[in-house]
Amino acid sequence: MTKQQIIGLLSTLTAIAEGYDLTTEIPWRQRNPGDLIQWPGATPTPDGKVKFDLHSQGWLALEAQWEHMLSGNSPLYPRGITWAALSARYCGQAYPNPWCREFTSTLAVDAQTPVQAWVDANLDPPTTP
């Protein structure tokens, strides 16, 4: 997979884990597939999340969030973080949690595997011109 395909897949799994696929849930109604709590330009809501004007803005924010999480520059999501630790930090629920199960079952990976190890194993090698 390309890096963008990996980010797209992880964003989609995040949206499913957050309930975005259900039109009655807050992430869908707030056009916030990642259930983000803050984002520049988004409107804060009383429930502590943010609302986007368009669904596409929410998706772009979620993809940018994953880009940052995978960059190795995030203090909250260090490069060696496991799926279990990432899920607990992202969704605020101790592992094991449904959020982590969504990822580990879909990606066929153990919860104690570092996220970056999965990315590295699934990232297409660079092409030479």
Is 16's pLDDT higher than 80? yes
* Boundaries of domain holding 114: 3-122
With H, G, I as helix, E, B as strand and everything else as coil, classify residue 42. Answer: coil
- Position 15 in a domain: yes
- Position 105 in a domain: yes
The tens digit of pLDDT for each residue in 79-97 reads: 999 999 999 999 988 888 8
Predicted pLDDT of residue 119: 97
- Give CA torsion, residues 104, 107, 110, 113, to 10 deg: -110
- Position 73 in a domain: yes
SS (H, E, C) 68-125: HHHCCCCCCCCCCCEHHHHHHHHHCCCCCCHHHHHHHHHHCCCCCCEHHHHHHHHCCC
- Position 107 in a domain: yes
The tens digit of pLDDT for each residue in 99-128 reads: 999 999 999 999 999 999 999 999 998 887
How many domains are there within the chain?
Answer: 1
- Position 127 in a domain: no
Q: What is the pTM of this model?
A: 0.93
pLDDT band at 33 (very low <50, low <70, confident <90, very high): very high
